[in-house]
Amino acid sequence: MTRDVMRCARLLACALLCSTSPAALAQDPVDVSSLGQAIGSAEGLFAFRAELRRDCGTLLPERKAAINGLAFFWHRRNQVEERALHAFWKSNNNPELIKLKNVVRATTQALLGAFRILPKEQQAAYCDSMFGLVHTGERDIARETPNVSRFLRQYLEANPLPQVEIERLDYVQGCMGQWWNRVGPVGPYDLDDVKPVCECLLETTERNTSEEERELSRQAAKRDESLVQLPHMQRIAPLLQKCATK
């Protein structure tokens, strides 16, 4: 497994670093033939899209909130694949395997180098291509690289996340979605700001409430009832407010 993942990442990095040009951005995504290669490919894709989101938001400041919102929806559309990666890294801390992330960073920077030397109008068009097609499903991992999606889905089925971990991920995703619903494309909405606040809200709630109280929140949420009026939520409200000021 380790050798397979590293081989995939090194091949990706070499191909891009040896030819850092706009043509690299136009290449069709390369599909894979093993789980290890799927891990390397997906890790690179998530890292690249995160950096591209930042670049596109800087290039098109008037559309930064919309780009971040589309990035959020892309993550939600590819939730299964992302959680498969999450499950993989939680159970694989082999030092050699962790080196993959350094290779992924080199690959990501190579692709970004190809993007950054494009004329501004071509950069804008590429941003539109990568984020504007999110709602159509054309940028879904399952559409672009079906084998990557298949291997990751099979891994998650065989190695499911604990229910408590799923609930934590659902909480953060739900928080980010609610934030988007409040501000929309007008913004401000930047995943680099929103996600840490949502994670802070989760961690603060976990530290300052009991399991019984959190179960009351879950039951209220299932009934679509507001959580604000629950006694334990009123008790920790001042602590939760501090998350937004960090």
Q: pLDDT per residue over 195-223, tens digit each?
A: 999 999 999 999 999 999 999 998 998 89
Min mean pLDDT across 22-26, 45-49, 91-95 is at 22-26
| 179 & 143 share domain | no
Is the pLDDT confidence value at 164 over 60? yes
| 150 & 174 share domain | no
Identify the domain containing residue 237 by its residue range: 163-243
**Scanning the structure block, which residue is given the tokens 């300052």?**
208
| 108 & 215 share domain | no
| 110 & 25 share domain | yes
Min mean pLDDT across 11-15, 29-33, 221-225 is at 11-15
| 114 & 69 share domain | yes
Is the pLDDT confidence value at 15 over 90? no
| 46 & 133 share domain | yes
Q: Which of 107, 135, 158 is the last residue of a domain?
A: 158
| 201 & 185 share domain | yes
pLDDT at 28: 55
| 28 & 148 share domain | yes
Report the Cα–Cα distance between both ends of the chain, in Å, rounded.
40
| 17 & 40 share domain | yes
Looking at the chain, the whole-number percentage of residues with pLDDT higher than 70 is 87
C-alpha torsion sign, points 35, 38, 43, 46: negative
* pLDDT per residue as tens digits for the range 119-137: 999 999 999 999 999 999 9
Whole-model pTM: value is 0.86
Based on the structure, what is the number of domains in the chain? 2
Q: Is residue 72 within a helix (H) or strand (E), and if so which, with residue range?
A: helix 64-77
pLDDT at 108: 81
| 180 & 149 share domain | no
